[in-house]
């Protein structure tokens, strides 16, 4: 290309007086050689220059589009942008103050400044704190980072696992005003009463207990916090503009499709603030339970459409306890293990038999109900998985249990998008290294048979030896430690896969995250059970494809 550019008469553009070969031109053979050397060097130089030139040309061509995009985005953002900027500065100053205080403490000690502090507010810890202070968008973004190990550095993925979504409650008067406006009628005409003390208050929504007028059914009302959509739009627009500028300044970034990722995040976050979508997800899950005859084993809250809108979701109130509450669970059912198996079967079943799967089964969203059923709450985050990906995932999980690394490598290749030829044997050897290093360091995994008995460490001994429920807290705490190690394991798998050119869909990370939650419940409720090998748990079943076929 560079040579053709020279031949095409563009040489003068690339001629540079400081090129060493451009000086001292002499005659004869030397001259010929010199010319050819000079030509090669010029060609190489012009190749580099050509690339920079075409980049520059591209940039100049793209500049009007970038400016137009920024102007358009700023217009869409409007005055809320200025408000968010002020809030951003406040958050920045707050976390900056914490950092300074930590620095001054460290400098007084003899050990020097830890790396965490050297990176300033860009270090995982302070960035996570900054995100928490910045509220909804950044908390969700933090949770996205935590669930996307293929996109972000491992230290950030690990730190953002701790990104908590708690926010001060909106005053009840304000909630009543929103309800009146959204429902378009007096609250008293819809609800017998609404409890002024919220059941929960997170960054996006607040939940209140209530009772329906007429039917007297107990319900909960999930109310979108006021102004939250404005905040999301302003923040996401800002993040979009930053991504656009970064891509403009460094076109290499477009290979990681930064702008594309930001657009995806924007789409999924805006879905979460649309309760019509959440209601549709709940109803599709309820249909799945009905079609599979699972209603006596599990449930999701019924939605009351006459008092639900895009910003208000009124649903049946479920009564129960989180699956991690060992003491309460034992007082509700005689066999916590059976409840766990039910939860697992219902969730695994939904992966293919339901249009979407529940992609946030943390303990607050998975309950054992008073009547012994499993209750699934909060369908704000859902995933979709193709039968092909799930079939590969199934092989992957089985291979962990059987320690067959070539099969593990093949299944990962099947799931990860790549156009390269992957050396399966080498990949398998690298995977084996990861897993054998785990055996050596005595991390126990319920996923891996034998190992959990062969390599029992103190943490699991605590869990296994738990005859009474008195040490539930200790068990939970230790399980959390172990869970981090599990996370680290999967991050390693992802990293090695990436070194072979594999890129996993986000669903892969979402699925793994849920499996980690389930692994946690297994350690607590059925420490002897192997989640992936137990005959009572059907991970892939023919019934699901039949169910799918019935929709075709
Ligand atoms: N149908 C229900 N019955 C009883 N309690 C409910 C119900 N729905 C929600 N809650 C309570 O409200 C809490 C928050 O609800 P939900 O998870 O839907 O909101 P959220 O804002 O998405 O919270 P998070 O992001 O923390 O999961 C639940 O953990 C639960 O305690």
The residue-averaged pLDDT of 471-477 equals 43
Residue 543 has pLDDT above 60, yes or no: no
Q: What is the pLDDT of residue 196?
A: 97
Residue 145 has pLDDT above 70, yes or no: yes
Closest atom, ligand 1, to C-alpha of 380? 22
CA of 218 to the centre of ligand 1 (A): 15
Residue 429 has pLDDT above 90, yes or no: yes
**Cβ < 6 Å from ligand 1: which residues?**
165, 199-200, 202, 204-205, 207, 220, 222, 301, 315, 317-318, 364-365, 377-378, 380
> CB-hemisphere CA count at 13 Å for 479?
24
Q: pLDDT digit string (tens) for 47-56?
A: 555 555 565 5
Q: Are 291 and 329 in contact (CB under 8 A)?
A: no
Residue 347 has pLDDT above 70, yes or no: yes
Closest atom, ligand 1, to C-alpha of 362? 27
Q: pLDDT digit string (tens) for 9-31?
A: 222 222 233 333 333 333 333 33
- Average per-residue pLDDT for the chain: 75
Residue 460 has pLDDT above 50, yes or no: no
Q: pLDDT digit string (tens) for 357-376?
A: 998 898 889 999 999 999 99
Q: What is the pLDDT of residue 61?
A: 66
Rounded-to-integer distance, Cα 57 and Cα 72, Å:
24
Q: What is the pLDDT of residue 205?
A: 93
By most ligand atoms within 8 Å of CB, the mutation choice from 168, 204, 207 for ligand 1 is 207
Report CA-CA distances (Å) from 361 to 63, 352, 376, 416, 444. Answer: 44, 17, 8, 24, 22
> What is the pairing mode between strands 298-299 and 374-376?
parallel
The residue-averaged pLDDT of 502-523 equals 80
Rounded-to-integer distance, Cα 237 and Cα 72, Å:
10
Q: Is 360 a catalytic residue?
A: yes
Grade residue 253 by pLDDT with cuts at 50, 70 and 90.
Answer: low
User: From atom 18 of ligand 1, which residue's Cα is the shortest distance away?
Assistant: 378
Grade residue 152 by pLDDT with cuts at 50, 70 and 90.
Answer: confident
Among 50, 235, 325, 360, the one annotated catalytic: 360
Residue 62 has pLDDT above 70, yes or no: no
Out of 290-294, 403-407, 497-501, pick the least confident: 497-501
Residue 136 or residue 337, greater confidence: 337
User: From atom 2 of ligand 1, which residue's Cα is the shortest distance away?
Assistant: 317
Q: Tokens at residue 45, please? A: 């130089």
Rounded-to-integer distance, Cα 493 and Cα 157, Å:
14
Q: pLDDT digit string (tens) for 371-425?
A: 999 999 999 888 888 888 888 888 888 888 788 999 999 998 888 767 678 899 9
The residue-averaged pLDDT of 242-269 equals 72
Residue 185 has pLDDT above 70, yes or no: yes
CA of 365 to the centre of ligand 1 (A): 7
Helix extents (H) in 354-404: 387-402
Grade residue 485 by pLDDT with cuts at 50, 70 and 90.
Answer: low
Helix extents (H) in 250-309: 258-272, 275-291
Q: Return the H-helix or E-strand segment holding 358.
A: strand 357-358
Residue 534 or residue 30, greater confidence: 534
Q: What is the pLDDT of residue 140?
A: 80
Grade residue 247 by pLDDT with cuts at 50, 70 and 90.
Answer: confident
Q: What is the pLDDT of residue 445?
A: 46
Q: What is the pLDDT of residue 405?
A: 92
Residue 461 has pLDDT above 70, yes or no: no
CA of 151 to the centre of ligand 1 (A): 29
Q: What is the pLDDT of residue 546?
A: 38
Q: Tokens at residue 503, please? A: 């890129």
Q: What is the pLDDT of residue 388?
A: 81
**Which residues have C-beta within 8 Å of that of residue 38, sequence separation ≥ 6?**
19, 21, 22, 25
Residue 49 or residue 217, greater confidence: 217
The residue-averaged pLDDT of 218-232 equals 92
Residue 392 or residue 281, greater confidence: 281
The residue-averaged pLDDT of 494-514 equals 79
| Cα angle value 29/35/41 (rounded, 5°) | 140
Q: What is the pLDDT of residue 476?
A: 43
Q: What is the pLDDT of residue 430?
A: 92
């Amino acid at each position: 290309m560079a040579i053709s550019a020279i031949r095409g008469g563009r040489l003068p553009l690339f001629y540079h007086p400081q090129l060493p070969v451009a000086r001292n031109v002499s005659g004869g053979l030397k001259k010929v050689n010199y010319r050819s050397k000079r030509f090669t060097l010029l060609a190489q130089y012009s190749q580099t220059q050509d690339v920079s030139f075409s980049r520059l040309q591209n940039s100049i061509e793209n500049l009007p589009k970038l400016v137009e995009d920024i102007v358009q985005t700023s217009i869409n953002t409007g005055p809320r942008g200025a408000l968010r900027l002020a809030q951003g500065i406040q958050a920045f100053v707050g976390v900056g103050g914490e950092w300074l205080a930590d620095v001054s403490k460290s400098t007084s000690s003899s050990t020097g400044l830890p790396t965490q502090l050297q990176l300033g507010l860009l270090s995982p810890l302070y960035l996570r704190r900054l995100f928490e202070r910045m509220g909804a968008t950044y908390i969700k973004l933090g949770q996205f980072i935590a669930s996307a190990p293929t996109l972000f550095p491992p230290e950030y993925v690990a730190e953002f696992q701790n990104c908590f979504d708690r926010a001060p409650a909106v005053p009840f008067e304000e909630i009543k005003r929103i309800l009146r406006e959204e429902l378009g009628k007096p609250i008293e005409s819809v609800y017998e009463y609404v409890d002024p003390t919220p059941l929960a208050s997170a960054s996006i929504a607040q939940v209140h207990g209530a009772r329906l007028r007429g039917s007297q059914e107990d319900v909960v009302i999930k109310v979108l916090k006021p102004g939250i959509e404005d905040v999301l739009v302003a923040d996401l627009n800002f993040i979009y503009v930053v991504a656009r500028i970064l891509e403009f300044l460094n076109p290499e970034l477009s290979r990681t499709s930064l702008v594309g990722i930001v657009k995806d995040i924007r789409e999924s976050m805006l879905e979460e603030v649309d309760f019509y979508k959440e209601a549709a997800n709940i109803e599709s899950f309820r249909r799945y339970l009905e079609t599979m005859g699972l209603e006596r084993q599990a449930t999701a809250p019924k939605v009351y459409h006459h008092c639900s809108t895009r910003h208000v979701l009124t649903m049946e109130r479920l009564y129960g306890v989180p699956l991690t509450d060992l003491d309460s669970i034992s007082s509700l059912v005689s066999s916590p293990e059976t409840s766990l198996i039910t939860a697992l079967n219902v969730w695994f079943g939904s992966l293919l038999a339901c249009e979407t799967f529940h992609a946030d089964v943390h303990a607050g969203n998975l309950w054992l109900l008073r009547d012994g059923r499993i209750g699934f709450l909060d369908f704000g985050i859902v995933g979709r998985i193709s039968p092909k990906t799930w079939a590969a995932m199934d092989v992957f999980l089985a291979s962990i249990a059987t320690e067959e690394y070539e099969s593990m490598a093949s299944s990962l290749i099947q799931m990860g998008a790549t156009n390269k030829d992957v050396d399966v044997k080498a990949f398998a050897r690298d995977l084996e290294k990861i897993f054998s290093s785990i055996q050596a360091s005595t991390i126990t995994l319920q996923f891996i048979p034998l190992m959990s008995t062969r390599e029992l460490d103190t943490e699991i001994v605590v869990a296994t030896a738990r005859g009474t429920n008195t040490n539930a807290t200790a068990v939970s705490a230790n399980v959390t430690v172990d869970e981090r190690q599990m996370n680290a394991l999967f991050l390693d798998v992802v990293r090695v896969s990436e070194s072979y050119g594999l890129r996993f869909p986000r669903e892969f990370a979402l699925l793994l995250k849920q499996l980690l939650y389930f692994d946690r419940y297994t350690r607590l409720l059925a420490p002897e059970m192997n989640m992936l090998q137990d005959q009572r748990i059907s991970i892939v079943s023919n019934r699901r494809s039949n169910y799918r076929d019935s929709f075709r």
